[in-house]
Amino acid sequence: MNESELRVQKIKDGTVIDHITQGNALNVLRILGITGKEGNVVSIAMNVPSKKLGKKDIVKIEGRELNPREVNMIALIAPKATINIIRNYQVIEKRKVKLPKVIKGIVKCINPMCVSNNPREPIEPVFTVIDEHPIKLRCQYCGMVMTHEDIEKQF
């Protein structure tokens, strides 16, 4: 058993999001819309030592199997994350996150004139992923291209 496992114990059933870019666990929860009000046990470990990443964050959500497709959206900020589905203490499914082709409603367009930023009639921002490494998004409304730095600043 390694050090990070000693910090947060194994769970019986649920979802473990592992190898999250360090310091981003709370942003991952935000993207997933998990507030803590749902009632599930949620454990968060930040900046724990990792052989692969140096340091990483881990989020464990008990009693809930998150749909890996929904979880894919976290690739925006945690491109190396893995989603582990746990049943009766066993990892029954392990997947790397994969950025979806379209990102909806998580980041804002940086163009203040964009219709998605209209204060009177706000509409959900929609972006097409035009590059993954490093990430680049194009606004579907105004064509503005957002870089990794533009996205990072919003979290």
Contact set with ligand CTP (CB under 6 A): 5, 10-11, 16, 18, 58, 60, 82, 84, 86, 89, 91, 94
Cα–Cα distance measured from residue 17 to residue 19, given in angstroms and rounded to the nearest whole number = 7
Nearer to ligand CTP, 32 or 142 (CB): 32
Given a contact cutoff of 8 angstroms between Cβ atoms, the answer to whether 48 and 55 are in contact is: yes
In angstroms, the Cα distances linking 69 to 29, 75, 97, 100 are 15, 11, 8, 8
Q: Which is nearer to Zn ion, 51 or 101 (CB)?
A: 101
Give alpha helix (H) positions in 33-153. 68-71, 148-152
Lay out the site mask for Zn ion across 91-110 (x = CB under 5 A, - = otherwise): ------------------x-
Binding residues vs Zn ion (CB under 5 A)? 109, 111, 114, 139, 141-142, 144
